[in-house]
Each structure stands twice: as structure tokens, then as C-alpha cells.
Amino acid sequence: MSKFEVPYKIYLDENEIPQSWYNVRADMKNKPAPLIHPGTLQPLKFEDMQPIFCDELIRQELDDVNPYIPIPQEVQDFYKMYRPSPLTHAVFLEKALDTPAHIFYKFEGNNTSGSHKLNSAIAQAYYAKKQGLKGVTTETGAGQWGTALSMACSYFGLDCKVFMVKVSYEQKPFRREVMRTYGASVTPSPSMDTNIGRKINEEFPGTTGSLGCAISEAVEAATSTPGYRYELGSVLNQVLLHQSIIGLETKAACDKYGIKPDIIIGCAGGGSNLGGLISPFMGEKLRGEADYQIIAVEPASCPSLTRGKFAYDFCDTGKVCPMAKMYTLGHDFIPSANHAGGLRYHGMSPVLSQLYHDGYMEARAVEQTSVFEAAVQFARVEGILPAPESSHAIRAAIDEALKCKETGEEKTIILGLTGTGYFDLKAYEQYNNGTMSDYIPTDEDLAKGFATIPDINL
């Protein structure tokens, strides 16, 4: 493939935007393990989840049979606001690296939420509205998911109550302000508004919060308020389903222009972007129709895939949520304070965990100064200031492209560029000032988290 046979940026036509999501579970021989009830250890049934999630979203959560789920027309209409997202040929980066590799990135940051999170937020808000609910609750860490859900709820006229990890609430007042502009209420977590929040504040005075704790608060707020449900932006099967739009568009663009990826790279926190990006490619791999090298990139400071245990664990700190079988660092694990940006969840999508366990993808952990080095290099040549999360994928893509330079291989690499770094400039400032540090937890550090993983063998 010549470097210039395809347009620099591929925008699908509106009529080429996929009209169904793809459910990779339908093609998995080993299905992801079901969510279980922490008391009975029995798989959760539809009725068990009704107090927490919208009915239709529960059906999607439980569906591991149907490969395609039609995207409701109202959601398709909203997608038109910011989709299709471009698949961009990184010619400037290739030139800077002097590599024979071909690098493409699927950029999901061209919307006000600044990331791919909107793809699932609008679907979840739609089903909540359709069920006649009054509002939804959620948690947010770095702020991308909270912003996305605020936008989606504003569009459908739903209340949106966001519990924002306290440290982010304080360090990212502008993230908070975007959510408020979209009419959401934003509460720093742990708060004094919920039982679990009060309990955590009492046990750990001065705590700056964690994602696991904010999830507990949001779930409690949803289940204790009539007409509300809880919505989550990652980890869940339904989220990967909605995010498959990323991969489906990428695949359509590749097929249209004859691009054949060898390597597909995505960052992985809870798995929402990676799971969406790879889904149709993974489907081909699972069906034996094609092969791809698929790489999950995670922070060395929160290495759930590369150093975690594949086990049933709680999804939240307060243990109010169901348990999931996943790669986990233990539900009490909180990444080191010097960790910037998202990708700080202790667990991982059960779908991705199973696929990784079964050898369909690999994982690697990278340190944050090398991630920001890649981010700045990318920003300067490709003109997009990437989110710290996305920059993990950039790091790995650059590393692969440099390997190609050594071997002379013309591999085609696709990376998921999840979003922009406009709200992460504190971290860029640290990097620019040379004050950013790395942290790799020791085995002893991890052992403390592992000790909290319950001993369940199903």
C-alpha cells in the first residue's frame, strides 16, 4: 500500500454509518462469566438487576447470543451530530518516525465531551428515557464519562446526577463546569449525601476518593431514588456493545480503502474504547476469518491485565454492586497519587478479560513519562493534543512503528485515539516542567489489593 493511496482523513458518508451494534459475545466460544450476587454467588437474573439498570440495558447486558443489535433511530440521529469520526492516516507521524509502518488512528475526540464515551452515554440515556425514568446517576473520574452522560441526558431531558471523584472535582473545575452547562448536578465523592459516602468519609477522613467509591455512591443514589437508575461508562458488556460503533466504522473505512491492519492498539482502563475498537476485528479472529495482533495498553501504575488476577471481585469499593469475573487488582486498589488521567480502575471488562485469558489479545504496561513523551511528539506532528489515556495507545504504536523501522517491515497499525487532553493540562504542565514522575507498584503493594479479592471459584 502506498502511503498516499488513501485520503489523509477518511470520513465515511452518513449512509455508511453502521445501523447496528456488534455484540462480540455472540462469537465467543468461552462466554464472559456472568455477574453474580455477592451474597448468593448466583448469576444475576434480569429481575435482580432491575433496581440498578434500565430494563433494555439489562437485556443487552445478558445477551451473549445475538451478534447484531439495531441502533435505535433516535440514537442514530444523535450519532450524526459528531459521527462518523475520522480514521486518519498519520502521515506526519510516520514521517517524523521515519518508519515503513503505516499508522492510522481512529479519533473519537471531535465532540464536546472530548472522548468516545458519548457513544454509550446517548444509548444509555435513550433507554432510560424510553422507560419513562426521571433521571440517572453515575460516577466520573477524569470526567469524560460524566461529561458525556450530561450531554446525553440534556438531549433527552433527563436529570443527571454525577458523583465526581473528589480529587478530580478539585483539580478539574472546568470539567465540572461543562457538566453543569449541560444541566447536570455534580457532587464530589465521597460525599455526605449517601450512607456509603458518609461511611467512607468517617473511616478515611480527608480521602480524595476513588472510582470504586464513587460507583458505590452513584448506585446507592439510584436505587434509593424513585424513577432513577444507575449508568456506567465502562466495564459492562452493554458499554462494549455500544462502543462497537468505533470498530465498525473503522472496519468499514478499512474495507472501503483496502487497508489491512496487522496490529490494533487501544488503551485499556475498564475497556470501553479498546473493546469497541477491536470488536469487529476480534469477531473475524474468533470466527477464524482473519488474524490480527491486538494490544491492550495500560498504565504501569494500574496494571490490571498485566499483573492482576483473573477472579471474581467486587466492581466497587462499597461492595454494593454485583461481582464480576475479571482481571483485577482488588476492589480496594487505588493507583498512586502521581498517576495522571483515567485508566485507574481496579478491574477490567469481563469480555476483554476472557478474551485476554483465552489468548486472543496481548497486553502491555507503560510508564507515564514515556506516555507523555509520545503524547507531545504526536501533538506536535499530528496537530491533536491527545488525552493521557489515548497517549498510552500512541506510546505502543510508536514503539511498534520503531520496531518496523529496525526490521523494515511495512506493518499497518491502527490505534484508538480516544479523546483530547484539553482538561488534562495540569499533567502536561508537570511533563513540560520536568516534574512528572513514574511509579510502578511493587509486588508487596499489589499483594495488599489482592488480599481483598474474595476467594470464589465457580
One of 1, 81, 440, 458 touching its own copies (CB under 8 A): 81
Helix (H) / strand (E) containing 246: helix 237-257
Q: What string of DSSP letters covers 150-218?
A: HHHHHHHT-EEEEEEEHHHHHH-HHHHHHHHHTT-EEEEES-SSSHHHHHHHHHSTT----HHHHHHHH
Q: 227-255 as b/e, with b when 16 or more CB fall inside 10 Å?
A: ebbbbbbbbbbbbbbbbbbbbbbbbbbbe
Those residues whose C-beta lies under 8 Å from the C-beta of residue 79, and which sit 6 or more positions away, are 17, 71, 119, 122, 245
155 lies in the binding site for its own copies (CB under 8 A): yes
Cβ count near 180 (within 10 Å): 13
Piece of 235-243, 315-323, 344-352, 418-426 that binds its own copies (CB under 8 A)? 418-426
181 lies in the binding site for its own copies (CB under 8 A): yes
One of 170, 174, 202, 407 touching its own copies (CB under 8 A): 174
Show the site string, 7-26: x = touches its own copies by CB under 8 A, - = not. xxx-x-xx------------
382 lies in the binding site for its own copies (CB under 8 A): yes
CA distances from 265 to 114, 278, 357 (A): 20, 8, 17
173 lies in the binding site for its own copies (CB under 8 A): yes
What's the closest the beta carbon of residue 174 comes to its own copies, in angstroms? Answer: 4
46 lies in the binding site for its own copies (CB under 8 A): no
One of 80, 260, 287, 448 touching its own copies (CB under 8 A): 80
Q: Which residue has the cell 511533563?
A: 431
Query: Judged by CB under 8 A, how many residues of this single chain contact its own copies?
Result: 42
Are the C-beta atoms of 255 and 231 separated by less than 8 Å?
no
244 lies in the binding site for its own copies (CB under 8 A): no
177 lies in the binding site for its own copies (CB under 8 A): yes
Helix (H) / strand (E) containing 296: strand 293-299
379 lies in the binding site for its own copies (CB under 8 A): yes
Ranges of beta strands (E only) in 39-96 are 68-70, 87-89
Are the C-beta atoms of 69 and 20 separated by less than 8 Å?
yes
Between 109 and 347, name the residue whose CB sits nearer to its own copies.
109
Between 92 and 439, name the residue whose CB sits nearer to its own copies.
92
Between 116 and 411, name the residue whose CB sits nearer to its own copies.
116
Show the site string, 90-119: x = touches its own copies by CB under 8 A, - = not. --x-----------------xxx-x-----
What's the closest the beta carbon of residue 233 comes to its own copies, in angstroms? Answer: 17
Task: Give the residue among 138, 110, 141 at the shortest CA–CA distance from 125.
Answer: 138
Between 143 and 280, name the residue whose CB sits nearer to its own copies.
143
Residue 218: HSE in the Cβ half-sphere, 13 Å Cα cutoff: 34
428 lies in the binding site for its own copies (CB under 8 A): yes
Give me the residues that bind its own copies (CB under 8 A), please. 7-9, 11, 13-14, 78, 80-82, 92, 110-112, 114, 151, 154-155, 173-174, 177-178, 180-183, 376, 379-385, 420, 422-423, 425-426, 428-429, 432
